[in-house]
Amino acid sequence: MTKPFVLFDLGETLVDLKELLVSLAANLASKHPALRPELPAIVRQWISDASRAMPRSPGQAFVREFEVASSVMGNLLRDRGIRLSDKEAGFILREGWDDFETRVRFVSGVSEEWLKEVRSLSAGLAIVTDGDRENVNRLLRHLPLGLYFDAIVTSEDVKSYKPNPPIYQAALRSLKAPADQSMFVSDSPQDLRGASSLGMATCLFGKPTIDASRELPEGALQVADPREFPAILRVFAETH
C-alpha cells in the first residue's frame, strides 16, 4: 500500500470564503449606504469577475491577485456612479479582509481532527492557491494549517496561476512527489484540469450548483462532504 501525496486548493476547499463576502459587504454598506440593496449581488459578482480576470492564459504577464481584485471592484463601483480609483477600491478590500481574517474558519466538514486523519493517510500534504503570499500568511496565523502541510505554494511565489503547470510543479518539487502518486483536491474543475494534465489524480470537493461532470478531467472523483475524503484516500492507497 502506497500513501499518496495530496495537494489542496485553499479557498472554498479548506477555508470558507463566504465570510469574506459578508465582511466586504458590511464595509461597503458603511461607506456607501445607497448601495445596500445591491451589495449581495455586487460582492458575488466581484469574486466571480476577479477569478475570471486573473491572467491565466499562457504568456500573459503575471499580476498580483490583490491588484486584479482591486481593479475589478473599482470597475463595479464606478459602474454604479461611485467615483474612486483602483487604489481606493483596494483600501475597501483590505478593510474587508482585515475583518474577515478575525473570523476566518474552515469549510464545513474540515477540522483539525480531519486534517490529522488526512495527514496520517498521506505521504505529504501541500496547499496550492491562487493568492498573494501576504494574505495567505495572514490566514495561517489564524488557522492551524501550517502544522499539517509540508508545503504552501501561492501564485505570487511562482508568478503563475492555476491551471498553468508551474504552480503545481513547484508544489510537487517541494514534496518530492511524483505526479502519478499524487492527488489534487479542489472545488474548481479548472484547477483539477490543470493537475490532471500533469498526470495527477483529481478530486472535486463540494456540491456544484450545476452539473460539473462535463468540466471535470477523466477519472475525477467527487466528494460532496470532506468527511468522506479519508475513505477515498484509503481506497486510492490500496489500488495504486
Region label for 98, one of left (φ > 0), alpha (ψ between -120 and 50) or beta (otherwise) = alpha
Cα–Cα dist 27/94, whole Å? 10
Question: What's CA 101's distance to the chain center, in Å?
Answer: 15
pLDDT at 215: 85
In the block, which residue shows the cell 470597475?
Answer: 75
Pairing of strands 124-129, 151-154: parallel
SS (H, E, C) the chain: CCCCEEEECCECCCECCHHHHHHHHHHHHHHCHHHHHHHHHHHHHHHHHHHHHCCCCCCCCCCCHHHHHHHHHHHHHHCCCCCCCHHHHHHHHHHHHHHHHHHCCECCCCCHHHHHHHHHCCCEEEEEECCCHHHHHHHHCCCHHHHCCCEEEEHHHHCCCCCCHHHHHHHHHHHCCCHHHEEEEECCHHHHHHHHCCCCEEEEECCCCCCCHHHCCCCCEEECCHHHHHHHHHHHHHHC
Which tens digit of pLDDT belongs to each residue from 203-240? Answer: 999 876 555 667 899 999 999 999 999 999 999 988 87
Q: Which residues of 177-215 are buried (b: 16+ CB within 10 A; e: fewer)?
A: bebebbbbbbbbbebbbbbbeeebbbbbbbebeeebeee
CATH number for the segment(s) 5-16+105-239: 3.40.50.1000
Going from N- to C-terminal start, the domains of the chain cover: 5-16+105-239, 18-103
pLDDT at 212: 62
Spans of the chain, pLDDT less than 70: 208-213
Pairing of strands 221-223, 124-129: unpaired
Which tens digit of pLDDT belongs to each residue from 166-195? Answer: 999 999 999 999 999 999 999 999 999 999
Q: 116 φ, ψ to 5°?
A: -60, -40
* This prediction's pTM: 0.94
